Amino acid sequence: METRSRFWFTSLLLTWVLSVGGKEVQDESPCNFPAIYNFGDSNSDTGGIAAAFWQMAPQCGETFFHRRTGRGCDGRILIDFIAQHLKLPYLSAYLNSIGANFRHGANFATGGATIRRQNESVFLNGVSPFPLDIQVVQFDQFKSRTGWFFKKDKKKSHRRNLPRPEDFSKALYTLDIGQNDIAAGFRSMTPEQFNKEIPDIINQFAEAVKNLYEQGARAFWIHNTGPLGCLAVTLNYSPGPDPDSYDPHGCDKAQNNMAKEFNRQLKQKVNKLRTKLPHAALTYVDLFAAKYELITNAKKEGFLDKASICCGYHKDNEHVWCGNKGKFNGTQVYADSCEDPSLYISWDGVHYTEAANHWIANHILNGSFSDPPVPITHACYRH
């Protein structure tokens, strides 16, 4: 019986045929992505919003880069670990005009970005003027203009920072966005009102994916949104008087439930896109589950409590954001960073530390939280 089972399993592996970019392959060799094109918000912004407006706090970047790089973190963020895992350079922000290298991709994400355009501003609520549809327009322009220069300019020294036109269809397209749409919903709507808006937001996300597909994108790695109700800023700024408003791990149930509903509809839409985009490989990554696992097992994993914030001043209901100054009872306070960021999950109340990002990367890149359950190195295969 054991021999027959082994034979059946071996036969299944030998006859399993997958499709990649419309072509059939007989094995699962790594995809060998030549580039990454990323779209999103501050969770994956490597300098876009800083290039457009102002730099991050001086503490941002202190752990790994030892300088400000436009990341809302003490060091590397998730997209950095993705690039590193695929043996590619860290992504240059599309809006960064100094020292940018786009040979192996570009990052269109900007802090505060949303899927759906908001009637707000970066000066009012920190909302980026570059929502997802504009990021896709920027990608369209980027693809067209770099292709023109690559074709016209024959000098290798001029071409070396430009993407090869043939690499666009072979690249990995990563998307991590939606958190700020939910945050905007909490600011301006009741949960019931926002629930009615989720389908429209998800449809706009799908339109962006379809637009990229029409531009030649084939391999998509799509993150859902994380547990907003577990963010340190949520737990420090708006503690609810009702203990029933928190789940067994101390996270705000209302915010997490909203994120779960958003993710449920996002996953449904990704499933539908698989039938509508016949040559695309779409991997849906449950970032909510990965982050929730880290947060609820913080001490077991060597971190402080989820509500602890490394950079910023948050005491006695007085709050000063990372790198800023405040005055309380006649005393000036400077919101500096902690001594050891590697002990913290939360960098500044909203964003994760490099150590937390590294933990999350180690748990999602192998496919453990993916649908289909494939590692990112094999995300070009259709299932």
C-alpha 11/C-alpha 221 separation (Å) is 30
Query: And the tokens for 110?
Result: 């900007």
pLDDT beyond 80 at 20: no
Asked whether residue 11 is domain-assigned, the answer is: no
pLDDT at position 19: 36
pLDDT, tens digit, for every residue of 107-119? 999 999 999 999 8
Q: Please pick, among 181, 314, 348, 370, the residue that the annotation labels catalytic.
A: 348
Q: Look-up: residue for tokens 């928190």?
A: 246
pLDDT of 22 reads 35
Which CATH number is 267's domain given?
3.40.50
Into how many domains does the chain fold? Answer: 1
Sorted by sequence, the CB contacts under 8 Å of residue 283 that are 6+ apart come out as 220, 221, 222, 370, 371, 372, 374, 376, 379
Higher pLDDT, 323 or 316: 323
**Is position 348 annotated as part of the catalytic site?**
yes
Options 104, 223, 314, 351, the catalytic residue: 351
**Does residue 242 carry a catalytic annotation?**
no
pLDDT at residue 239 greater than cutoff 70? no
| The one-letter amino acid at 282 | L
Least confident residue range of 17-31, 48-62, 63-77, 239-253: 17-31
> Domain for residue 100, yes or no?
yes
Residue closest to 116 by CA, chosen among 24, 19, 182: 182
What pLDDT, on the 0 to 100 scale, is given for residue 280? 98
In a domain? residue 170: yes
pLDDT of residue 27: 59
Determine which of 38-42, 79-83, 122-126, 269-273 has the lowest per-residue pLDDT on average: 122-126
Decide if 346 is inside a domain. Answer: no
- Residue 236: per-residue pLDDT: 86
Residue 112 host element (H or E): none
Question: Is a pLDDT exceeding 60 seen at residue 10?
Answer: no
pLDDT digits (tens, 9 = 90+) for 197-229: 999 999 999 999 999 999 999 999 999 999 999
* Helix, strand, or coil (residue 379): coil
With a pLDDT cut of 70, the percent of the chain lying above it is 92
DSSP string, 18-80: EEETTEEESS------S-EEEEESTTS-SSHHHHHS-PPPTTTTTTTTSS--S-SSSS--HHH
Kindly report the pTM of this predicted structure: 0.91
Decide if pLDDT at 81 tops 90: yes
For residue 330, the model assigns a pLDDT of 83
Contacts 24+ apart (CB under 8 A), 54-63: 56/323, 57/311, 57/321, 57/322, 57/323, 57/324, 57/348, 58/323, 59/311, 59/322, 59/323, 59/336, 59/337, 60/311, 60/322, 60/323, 62/337, 62/341, 63/341, 63/342, 63/353, 63/354
Judge contact between 380 and 218, C-beta under 8 A: yes
Asked if residue 43 is part of any domain, the answer here is: yes
Whether 351 sits among the annotated catalytic residues: the reply is yes
Q: Which residue range(s) make up the domain with 121? A: 36-302+353-378
Per the listing, tokens 């779209």 go with 39
- Considering the domain boundaries, does residue 328 fall inside one? no
Annotated catalytic residue, options 41, 42, 92, 104: 42
Separation CA 128–CA 267 (nearest Å): 25
Q: How confident is the model at residue 328 (pLDDT cuts 50, 70, 90)?
A: confident
Residue closest to 64 by CA, chosen among 347, 254, 308: 347
**pLDDT tens for residues 291-311?**
999 999 999 999 999 999 999
3-state helix, strand, coil in the chain (%, to 5): 40, 15, 45
Residue 42 lies in a domain: yes
- Asked whether residue 7 carries a pLDDT value surpassing 50, the answer given is no
- Which of 46-50, 151-155, 177-181, 206-210 comes out lowest in average pLDDT? 151-155
What local confidence, expressed as pLDDT, does residue 285 receive? Answer: 98
Query: Does residue 51 belong to any structural domain of this protein?
Result: yes
User: Using the 8-state DSSP alphabet, how is residue 89 labeled?
Assistant: P
Indicate the residue type of 15: T
β-strand pairing of 105-107 with 36-40: parallel
Averaged pLDDT of the chain: 91
